[in-house]
A and B are shown apart, each in its own frame.
Chain A
Amino acid sequence: MKKAILVLSIILMIIVLVQSWLVGVGGTMFNDRLLAWGGLAGRLLALLFGAGAVFVLPRPLVSAVIYLAGALLGILFGLFTGYYDMILWGGLALLLAGGSYYAWSVEGKRSVPEEPVREISHF
């Protein structure tokens, strides 16, 4: 589960990064300030995808929080900047956040509580 989230995160990071770069350049070229800010937010979202991928294996809960932040960022900027694909990326980030949370919860249930070590005296 966690490995699947890791791979998806990296693929999404690359796609969002390239698209956001194009959007940012276009916004600057045509003097469209909103579009330019949308591109910048998209690049930040791509970074958050990367950061989530970093923590998903050791700390899935941290990844879940990062993805959640990315989802909020993507949906907000997607609604107001004209960069509508950001809503899609925000939704996917939300899904990844759910996945990470699930992985963390499953991991918590599977872990066996440590038994106290009994010390046996040979004497």
Chain B
Amino acid sequence: MRRRMAWFSPGWGRRCKHLGKTALLTFLALMLAVGPVWPVSAAAETAQQGFASGGLLAAVGQAFEAAMKFTWREQVAGRPIPEQDLSAALGSLNEFSLAVLRDPRLAEIIDQVISDLVTNEELPGGIQKNKEFIAEIIRDPRLEQVLGEIIADYLQDERLARDIEDFFNIIFDLITREDLHYFIRDSLAALVEHKSLEKTINELLLAATGMIYSAGSDAVAALLADERVPLVISELISIVAGSVPETVSLLLVEDNNRRILGVAEDILLILAQYGGEVTLDILEDIRLRESLADMLLLVVDPHLYLAVASMGTGLAEHLLEKTAEGLTADETLENALGNLIHDFFMAGAQDYFLDSLTELIKQARSRAKEATPEDRRVVVRVGFVTIADEPALVQKSIADALAKVPPQIAKYAVFMWLVDGNPSPPYSQTPGLDPVPRTYRQWGRDLGGLLKQNNRAGELAAALSADLRNIVYGFIEENGSHISDSLRAAIVELPLEEAAAEIRRGGRAAELLRELVGRIIGCLPLEELAQCILEEADIAGVIEELSEDFVSELPFDRASRLLLEDRRLIEALEGSLPHVTLAEVAETIRRDERIIAVLADAAKNLPVDRIIDFIQDERRAALIGGAIARTLLNLAADFVADEELAVFLHGVLIEAINSLEGTPGILVTDVLSRFLENENFAGNLVNSLYEFTYGVKTELWQIYREIVPRFFTHALWRFI
């Protein structure tokens, strides 16, 4: 019992304190240890992830890795590099490097920079300071400026033109060499067939398609949602409706009288001979019977014309009503309007719209041209003679291209998307698409559907009947006596006895009816009636009034929403996109001899003179010189920042200074010049280009292996 109690004694509390501190430290150590475990597992994962990691950056990284592998000759067991040929080509550039390195200004500025650094009090020995020392020499802005000036001077040197010509001559010769062909071809194929590049291109295609579609559909939807569009269509309808009275008058002119008579006779004959539901209705209608009875009173009633007018208007009203009912009972009206609108558009409206939109595009381009400035000029000079001095017009070109887009989209929207409903099959499946016939008919059918809604057709028929009744009665009141005289004369001449006999026998009813109608209508002053209709009829007003309802119910909102929401078109577009398979391209590159021919042509047509002129322009030479100097020196400074190299170079510099015959600057430049003059330089450079990255990485790995895992062992041995 006492032993057990000893666990809870005050001495045990101190133990617990120690234990707690130790446990806390251990926990922290555990957190530190668990954290860095990921690199080992990550190494295994990255090898497996491969192409699964998306994104352009990852793909570019993969492509770069592929290029590196190819450079290290791990990926393509192709032909050997034509080292000698490339060496010859690069050899022609040696002059450039030597001219720069031997320039006294370079040696002078290096001397100056080194002396400044050496006299600096903060330059003790040690690895770290060595690194800073060399990097400071290379990053000194004076060195960059002087080197830039030297390169610029050299670029403007006349001898450079010859060097460049020689270089290109060698390159042109190389182009015709088979070995280089195969090398370039294999390089291209190896890079092209990398999977990540293929994935990137396909992703870019998809993304670009989606982006363009979204931009286009947004613009069209905005256009359709614009409240001014229904107003424009209302105006269009008013123009069309305004032409209706003229059409009626055209039907009533003298030339057409005979045809109208024929039509009326045919109608009556059909009614009489064939019957049918409509005709039976008409015949059974009491007003028709009354009208026919009125006709029978022709001979006895002096106010015949009123009866005729009554019969005419009553018959017209009835026929219009029945027509409206008959047309709206099935698809007849939709089909008729569809055909009508299709004919209307195909007869010229389409051309009108296309011309209008083309004009709109012209105006938009003109405005864009005026609104954008000329941004820069391209001047080509040979010596002091200016060969070409033309504006580049980059902004103008962009503005011009942008100005064309909205009207084009509007054109397609008007002709393809105005009315609800997508074509079937989709446009993407109908190459050389012609959406016109189906779409125009669809418009007509939609208008027909609107007419059928809420008995609008009946309202239109009633309005027309009322108008006709008023017009005809007014006309008859004014011309009653004239009509009466004409009719009387006509009726007097009618062979009534024969007619009565024939009717009793039931024989020549058709001929009798035809003659009767012909004589009656022949006496009517139709031309004057047409004139009256033209002057007084408000048919256009009626149509316009009704059309306001139509337009307000046209499915603009639905069409706009459909464009935004309907994914079928974009899906069809994406589906129709070709899947780029770079393996085939790579295979084509390997097999197709035309690529080599293209390379040869490109080389032949390369304007070397222009390139020389371009480079030797004073301002450009300064820019190029500065850029080259900055890039080279920064590259060298980054390279030298490596600790081992810094130590090595520092040692070389110290030895060089100790064994100095000239100044340090001259010594450095001479050493570099001798190195460049070496015959094997170009070949070595070619190899170095291929093995540089591999070598650096391997070297670093060796250094790391030597230092980090053995640090304490080395230190211990040294201490011992």
**In whole angstroms, what is the CA distance A26 to B700 when docked?**
10
User: Are A50 and B25 touching (Cβ within 8 A)?
Assistant: yes
Task: Confirm or deny: B102 has a beta carbon within 8 angstroms of a beta carbon on chain A.
Answer: no
Q: Quick check: A24 and B39 within 8 Å, CB to CB? A: yes
Report B704 CB to chain A, min CB distance, Å: 5
Asked if B19 contacts A51 (CB within 8 A), the reply is no
Given contacts A6-B22, A33-B43, contact A84 B33 (CB under 8 A): no
Contact of A57 among B19, B37, B697, B704 (CB under 8 A): B19
Contact segment of B446-454, B500-508, B661-669, B709-717: B709-717
Q: Is A94 an interface residue (CB 8 A)?
A: no
Tell which of B26, B40, B697, B700 touches A28, judged by Cβ atoms closer than 8 Å. Answer: B40
Task: Indicate whether B259 reaches chain A with its CB closer than 8 angstroms.
Answer: no
Does B610 sit at the interface, judged by CB under 8 A?
Answer: no
Whether B709 lies near A30 (C-beta < 8 A) is: no
The answer to whether B29 and A46 touch across the interface, beta carbons within 8 angstroms, is yes
What residues of B have a CB within 8 angstroms of the CB of A85 in the complex? 709-713
User: Which of A35, A43, A58 is in CB contact (< 8 Å) with B709?
Assistant: A35
Cβ–Cβ < 8 Å partners of A30 in chain B: 697, 700-701, 704
Interface residue ranges of A31-79 to B (CB < 8 Å): 31-33, 35-40, 43-44, 46-47, 50-51, 53-54, 57-58
**B29 neighbours in A (Cβ, 8 Å):** 13-14, 17, 46-47, 50
B705 at the interface (CB under 8 A from A): yes
Q: Is the beta-carbon distance between B712 and A88 smaller than 8 angstroms?
A: yes
Asked if B40 and A24 sit within 8 Å, CB to CB, the answer is yes
Most chain A beta-carbon contacts within 10 A, residue among B15, B704, B710 = B704
Interface 1/0 per residue, B9-38 and A, CB below 8 Å: 000000100110011011001101100110
Q: Is B708 interfacial (CB 8 A cutoff)?
A: yes
CA–CA, A88 and B720, complex, Å: 14
Interface residues on B, range: 20 to 34
Chain A residues lying within 8 Å of B26, measured Cβ to Cβ, are 13, 47, 50-51, 53-54
Q: How distant is the Cα of A85 from the Cα of B709 in the complex, in angstroms?
A: 6
**A residues in contact with B39, CB < 8 Å:** 24-25, 27-28, 36, 39
Interface residues on A, range: 35 or more
Minimal beta-carbon separation of B24 from chain A (angstroms): 10
> Could you tell me if A88 and B716 are in contact, using CB atoms closer than 8 angstroms?
yes
Residue of A nearest to B716 (CB): A88
Instruction: Knowing A53-B26, A54-B19, A58-B15, say if A17 contacts B33 (CB, 8 Å).
Output: yes
What separation, in Å, do the CA atoms of A99 and B716 have in the docked complex?
A: 22
Nearest residue, chain B, Cβ from A30: B701
Contacting pair B712 A19 (CB below 8 A)? yes
Instruction: Known contacts A43-B36, A53-B25, A84-B710; decide if A35 and B30 are in contact (CB<8 Å).
Output: no
Question: Is A83 an interface position by the 8 A CB rule?
Answer: yes
A103 adjacent to chain B (CB < 8 Å): no
The answer, yes or no, to whether B42 is at the interface (CB within 8 Å) is: yes
Residue A102 interfacial (CB < 8 Å): no
Given contacts A19-B712, A47-B30, contact A40 B40 (CB under 8 A): yes
Distance of B1 from chain A, by nearest CB (Å): 10
Q: Are A36 and B43 in contact (CB under 8 A)?
A: yes
Do residues B25 and A10 form an inter-chain contact, with CB atoms below 8 A? yes
A52 smallest CB distance to B (angstroms): 10
Most buried by A among B19, B40, B704, B709: B709
Residue with the greatest number of chain A CB neighbours at <10 A, chosen from B23, B26, B713: B26
Report whether B25 and A88 are in contact in the complex, using a CB–CB cutoff of 8 Å: no
> Which B residues touch A20, using CB under 8 A?
33, 36
Identify which of A28, A44, A53, A87 contacts B22 (C-beta below 8 A): A53
> Nearest chain B CB to A80's CB is how many angstroms away?
12
Report A-chain residues with C-beta under 8 Å of the C-beta of B42: 28
Give residues 93-150 of B contacting A (CB, 8 Å).
none
Contact yes or no, A84 B713, CB < 8 A: yes
The answer to whether B40 and A58 have CB atoms under 8 Å apart is no
A19-B711 in contact (CB<8A): yes
Q: Assess the A40–B37 pair: CB atoms within 8 A.
A: yes
Contact of A46 among B33, B705, B716 (CB under 8 A): B33
**In the complex, which residue of chain A has the Cβ closest to the Cβ of B12?**
A58
Q: Contact at A24–B36, with CB atoms within 8 Å?
A: yes
Residues of B within 8 A of A32 (CB): 701, 705
Contacts of B15 in A (CB 8 A): 57-58
Q: Do the beta carbons of B705 and A47 come within 8 Å of each other?
A: no
Q: Specify which chain A residues have a CB less than 8 angstroms from the CB of B22 in the assembled complex.
A: 6, 10, 50, 53-54, 57
Residue of B nearest to A50 (CB): B26
Known: A26-B708, A57-B15, A88-B712. A17 touches B40 (CB 8 A): no
Tell me whether B709 and A38 are in contact (CB under 8 A). Answer: yes
Q: Specify which chain B residues have a CB less than 8 angstroms from the CB of A51 in the assembled complex.
A: 26
Pick the contact of B40 from A10, A39, A84 — CB < 8 Å?
A39
Asked if residues B43 and A37 are in contact (CB atoms below 8 Å), the reply is no
CA A50 – CA B711 in complex, angstroms? Answer: 22
Minimal beta-carbon separation of A79 from chain B (angstroms):
12
- Closest-CB distance, A117 to chain B (whole angstroms): 9
* Contacts A26-B704, A28-B40, A50-B25; A21 near B709 (Cβ below 8 A): no
Residues on the B chain within 8 Å of A10, using CB: 22, 25
Q: Considering only CB atoms, which chain B residue lies closest to A6 in the complex? A: B22
Q: Report A-chain residues with C-beta under 8 Å of the C-beta of B708.
A: 19, 22-23, 26
Contacts of B40 in A (CB 8 A): 24, 27-28, 36-37, 39-40
The 5 A-B residue pairs with the shortest CB-CB distance in the complex, in nearest-first order = A28-B39, A50-B26, A30-B701, A83-B709, A43-B33
A sample of 7 more A-B contacts (CB under 8 A), given A10-B22, A57-B19, is A28-B42, A30-B701, A33-B43, A47-B26, A47-B33, A51-B26, A85-B712
Q: List 7 A-B contacts (CB under 8 A).
A: A17-B33, A22-B708, A30-B704, A32-B705, A50-B22, A58-B19, A85-B711
Could you list which residues of chain A lie within 8 angstroms of chain B, going by C-beta atoms? 6, 10, 13-15, 17, 19-28, 30-33, 35-40, 43-44, 46-47, 50-51, 53-54, 57-58, 82-88, 114
